[in-house]
Amino acid sequence: MKENIRKLVKQPLLLILVVLIMLTLIIFIAFPMFQIFLSSFLSNGEINWQGYERVFAGGQLTSALTNSLVLAIIVSILSTAIAYFFAYTFAYIEVPFKKIFNGIAILPVISPPFVIALSAILLFGRGGFISETLLGIENANIYGLHGLILVQTLTYFPVAFLVLAGLLRSISPSLEEASDNLGSTKWQTFKKVTLPLSVPGIGNAFLLVFIQSMADFGNPMTIGGDYNTVAREIYMQAVGSYNMQAGAALAMVLLTVTVILYAVQKFWVGKKSYVTVTGKPTSARKMVSKGVFRRIMIGICYGLSATVILFYILVPIGSFIQLWGVNYSFTLDHYSYVFSIGQKAVVDTLQLSIIATPIGGLFAMILAFLIVRKRFAGKKLMEGISMLSIAIPGTVIGISYILAFNQAPLAITGTALIIIAAFIVRAMPVGIRSGITSLQQIDPSIEEAATNLGASGSKTFFSIVLPLIRPAFFSSLVYTFVKSMTAMSAVIFLVSARYNLITASILAQVESGRIGVASAYCTLLIILMIAAMLVLNGLTALFTGKWKLRKDKQTGAEIISKDAANADSVNAA
Amino acid sequence: MSAKSVKLENVTKQFTDDEGKVMTAVKEVSLHIEKGEFATLLGPSGCGKTTTLRMIAGFEELSNGAIMFGEDNVQNIPANKRDCTMVFQSYALFPHMSVYENICYGLKLKKLSKSEIEKRVTPIMDIMNLHVNKNRMPNQLSGGQQQRVALARALVMEPGVLLFDEPLSNLDAKLRITMRDEIRRIQKELGITAIYVTHDQSEAMSLSDRIVVMNEGRIEQVGPPMEIYQKPKTKFVSDFIGTANFLGGVVDKKDSDRLFVKTKQTTIEVLQKDADTFHEGQSVSVVVRPEAINLSKEGTESAKVLKSVFMGQIQEYELDFNGIQLYAVVADPGGKEVYYDGDSVNLTFSQRSLHVVPA
Ligand SMILES: Nc1ncnc2c1ncn2[C@@H]1O[C@H](COP(=O)(O)OP(=O)(O)OP(=O)(O)O)[C@@H](O)[C@H]1O
Ligand SMILES: [Mg+2]
């Protein structure tokens, strides 16, 4: 400890950096969390339990809570089941155009949070294409629990797929061969070997989806109808009825649930994974290449993939249609709205995201570097806070920021700073994770060699460390950009007349029934996201061509989706 | 290039683990390495060699004591400002830079002009035979070539002190010998002070002016290779360097330069320069190197051959000497009488090769 302090004093730059990062983490994560905690016990300056009483007394807040839990359980079960089906097909069966699955898996990471909800309205809503035009149902109602289940399952099963596909791939085929060899039928082998071995992965996937569903804000706002959920209720309490105490209490409950689930999930990954014990895949698995079974599996997977893709392309189509359900003629009106009256939101969002991107990317890399490589007083705390940030739902960030930053000394409500901070805090966990992972693969003596040859701490970081973790850095940059552009749950609390955001505008358009304009905004976002991913792929290919750090060549998109699946449990909300 | 002497005074390093348990990796090490000297830290795994080297390089803080380069205490000089460069066990080449860029890295940081850099790099690349690989990336080089780049990168800085942490342990046996000779040649040629860490005694023997034998964080003995081998100060050193038989006993009588050690078997007379550091009645061990044992058929038959193995250059014997097992080696067995399992032989010691250490 004494030596650590002495070390810090001797490297003033490191000291400054540690202090700065620590302050940032405390101001933008720890302090706001403390503020919600405090506010949940405070009404008009008095300490009391009224907030929590309201959460658990059986009224509107209680039903929001139970609703969220019911929804999360259903969606997690469905998503995990579908994902397992996909993952099994992916790992065991020869499928033409398998890459499609990977593509679908990235969609929820990069797409705006309510694309599927919008499509669902276009298909099944009042005047929906399927509900009314095809089936002739008038006043079809997609809003509510059933709509949410549909939308969330389609949105989140790819996350579960990534987890399960990775797991099934790592099961050593020799285990299954051994079982076959002992005379088991394929079904018995599945039941006795494959399935038990996938239990940790299934649990893991289930929990990840559960957390995301609990924390989801965009879908319930768009398609929830009368079915109230926690994230939405927090927003209503805070922004609608200015009952900060009730909002804070509900946020505390939500936070507690996600933190606990996240801890359980961590524990599960860490302790329960038998798969890693059995070692590397020794031989390639023999894929099922013919038979009826294969054809059925492929058929179902293709069908589901087509459905997901349909949901995603419907929105761009909808953006060119005059009035969905009534007048299907082609129009550019929605875009001209977006680029005239709605332009401010686009410009603001782009501006703020572009500012947040380099700061967020670099911040994550530096933090990862400090955690992996440096020893200093307070490191445990730094690690703890950045770990915690993974588990904080966006809505909780949102309400905590209004509570924390609306009075001196940190009165930054309404400024660009608060929005940028929210962007960065939301995207940071993924960057930190991938930074940590890639730093752990680099021999620390490479950095020592640089120091030894005369490089200062910052010189070592910029000339050696950052180039070596470039893939992680790029993916962190793009992830920050993508997440900032599509952020809603946290920043919806923070938008003001001065700064409007695309996602907030979309929500407003949906609420006033102007689905066309919402679709146009969404399409624009999707195009920007695709552009960002392409830039990432280009950068990664350009800079990793010369030397390979990751053994298997990965595209930037694959890196980002993997990093996201590992680290991002609540961010999609 | 101005080589510097290195002085360690009472250097101690303690590590505290996460649970607050303290372990002492280096204990009160004092050592003076002369300008231009090649010193090797030798010892078993975990004895604190790397830690010592890293403290000299500035990567680890001292818990106690001081390190001086020449006359200057380096306590407050950070690692990147210390006048020493290091060759790492893993080479630690920058994977994203070419061979040339790797070698220039330190010079560029010194803000030398392009032509100056060129002027310093060229002769080093000549010595190291690296010109053809100039533009390759490290992962396109063989282990030996990577090793050369690592060495060139450290040498080009013209450091006051050059540090090596087991630089050859990743190479195959043959290359290890070639590189070891090369390192020694260059070090002599340039007159650099070198501190070299290894746990391979033949490496230490062939490279060093002096060997520092370490054990459990302490220095056991410092001296030239021959002295370390022939005149070990402790049982640990005699056992760790080369092979040794031990005959336990007590000092029976002593002279200014002679000890008479009474063992269970016989009383052995040993020529020992530092005889006065022992006192009569002290328990000691006589170190008997395998080559110090002579066997013959004449005289009394005091030992029995348990096992006899022909190895080409040598004949190996396992002997029973009044209940003690001894290991003996006879060089050039072709011209000598060879004994076989079960033979009884007369065993004598070459008196000049014997040595006494405290038990
Ligand atoms: N950073 C550290 N934290 C805690 N203990 C350490 C640290 N570095 C070294 N040690 C401990 O200090 C002791 C000496 O380690 P050191 O690396 O100096 O050994 P060594 O002589 O170089 O061994 P080897 O020949 O195996 O490289 C070991 O017991 C090691 O576990
Ligand atoms: Mg070592």
pLDDT beyond 90 at A399: yes
pLDDT beyond 50 at A277: no
3-state DSSP assignment of residue A487: coil
* pLDDT of A414: 81
pTM above 0.90, yes or no: no
CB A373 within 8 A of CB A447: yes
- Going B315 to B316 to B318 to B322, the CA torsion angle's sign is positive
Residues with Cβ within 8 Å of A343's Cβ and at least 6 positions away in sequence, in order, are none
On chain A, the residues whose CB falls within 8 A of the CB of B154 are 452-453
Confirm or reject contact between A12 and chain B (CB < 8 A).
no
User: How far apart (Å, rounded) are the C-alpha atoms in residues A393 and A258?
Assistant: 8
Over its C-alpha atoms, chain B yields an Rg (Å, rounded) of 25
Interval A156-195: pLDDT, tens = 888 888 888 888 877 777 777 776 667 677 777 787 778 8
B95/A549 CB distance under 8 A: yes
Full pLDDT tens readout for chain B, 359 residues: 588 999 999 999 999 887 788 999 999 999 999 999 999 999 999 999 999 999 999 999 899 999 999 999 998 898 999 999 999 988 999 999 999 999 999 999 999 999 999 999 998 888 888 888 888 999 888 888 898 899 999 989 989 999 999 998 888 888 888 888 988 988 998 899 999 999 888 999 999 999 999 999 999 999 999 999 999 999 999 999 988 999 999 999 888 888 999 988 788 888 888 888 898 889 999 999 999 998 888 877 688 999 999 888 889 999 998 888 999 998 887 777 888 898 888 988 888 889 999 98
Interval A76-99: pLDDT, tens = 999 999 999 888 888 888 888 877
CATH class of the domain comprising B6-230: alpha beta
State the distance from the centre of ligand 2 to the C-alpha of B47, rounded, in angstroms. Answer: 8
Domain ranges for chain B: 6-230, 243-358
Do the interacting molecules here have an ipTM over 0.90?
A: no
Confirm or reject contact between B157 and chain A (CB < 8 A).
yes
Residues with Cβ within 8 Å of A33's Cβ and at least 6 positions away in sequence, in order, are A255, A388, A392, A396, A400
Distances (CA, A) of A134 to A143, A318, A319, A320: 19, 17, 20, 20
Question: What integer is the mean pLDDT of A376-382?
Answer: 86
**CATH code for residues B243-358:** 2.40.50.100
On chain A, the residues whose CB falls within 8 A of the CB of B139 are 547-548
Confirm or reject contact between A456 and chain B (CB < 8 A).
yes
* pLDDT of A573: 34
* pLDDT of A569: 35
User: How far apart (Å, rounded) are the C-alpha atoms in residues B127 and B151?
Assistant: 11
User: How far apart (Å, rounded) are the C-alpha atoms in residues A441 and A57?
Assistant: 51
Say if ligand 1 is within 6 A of residue B51 CB: yes
**Atom nearest to B43 CA in ligand 1:** 21
Q: What percentage of residues in chain A have a pLDDT greater than 70?
A: 87
Measured between CA atoms, how close is B174 to chain A, in angstroms?
26
Long-range contacts of the stretch A302-310 (C-beta < 8 A, 24+): A304/A82, A304/A86, A305/A100, A305/A101, A305/A104, A307/A154, A308/A104, A308/A107, A308/A154, A308/A158, A309/A104, A310/A119
Same fold, B6-230 and B243-358: no
* pLDDT of A271: 53
Confirm or reject contact between A292 and chain B (CB < 8 A).
no
Residue B190's Cβ-count burial label (10 Å; 0-12, 13-18, 19+) is middle
For B80, nearest residue in chain A (alpha carbons): A454
- Going A446 to A450 to A451 to A457, the CA torsion angle's sign is negative
User: How far apart (Å, rounded) are the C-alpha atoms in residues A358 and A355?
Assistant: 7
* pLDDT of B169: 86
User: How far apart (Å, rounded) are the C-alpha atoms in residues A4 and A11?
Assistant: 11
Q: Which residue ranges form the domains of chain A, and what is each CATH number?
A: 1-38+335-573 (1.10.3720.10), 40-271+287-308 (1.10.3720.10)
Name the residue of B15, B203, B218 to mutate for ligand 1: max ligand atoms within 8 A of Cβ. Answer: B15
**Atom nearest to B17 CA in ligand 1:** 4
User: How far apart (Å, rounded) are the C-alpha atoms in residues A224 and B176?
Assistant: 71
Residue nearest to atom 22 of ligand 1 (CA): B50
CB B331 within 8 A of CB B314: yes
State the distance from the centre of ligand 1 to the C-alpha of B41, rounded, in angstroms. Answer: 14
Residue nearest to atom 8 of ligand 1 (CA): B51
Name the residue of B19, B45, B50 to mutate for ligand 1: max ligand atoms within 8 A of Cβ. Answer: B50
Interval A224-264: pLDDT, tens = 889 999 999 999 998 888 888 899 999 999 999 999 998 88
| Nearest by Cα to A173 from A295, A290, A289, A280 | A280
Which chain residues have CB less than 5 Å from ligand 2, an ion?
A: B 50
Long-range contacts of the stretch A181-187 (C-beta < 8 A, 24+): none
CB B196 within 8 A of CB B164: yes
Interval A298-344: pLDDT, tens = 888 888 888 888 888 889 999 998 888 778 888 899 999 999 888 89
A448/B88 CB distance under 8 A: yes
User: How far apart (Å, rounded) are the C-alpha atoms in residues B235 and B149?
Assistant: 40
Confirm or reject contact between B205 and chain A (CB < 8 A).
no
Which ligand is nearest the CA of B49, by number? 1
Interval A58-67: pLDDT, tens = 888 889 999 9
CB B338 within 8 A of CB B308: yes
- B79 → closest Cβ in A6, A452, A464: A452
Say if ligand 1 is within 6 A of residue B299 CB: no
φ, ψ of residue B294 in degrees (nearest 5): -110, 140
Residue A568 binned pLDDT confidence (cut-offs 50, 70, 90): very low
Residue B11's Cβ-count burial label (10 Å; 0-12, 13-18, 19+) is buried
For B157, nearest residue in chain A (alpha carbons): A453
pLDDT beyond 90 at A418: yes
Q: What percentage of residues in chain A have a pLDDT greater than 90?
A: 33
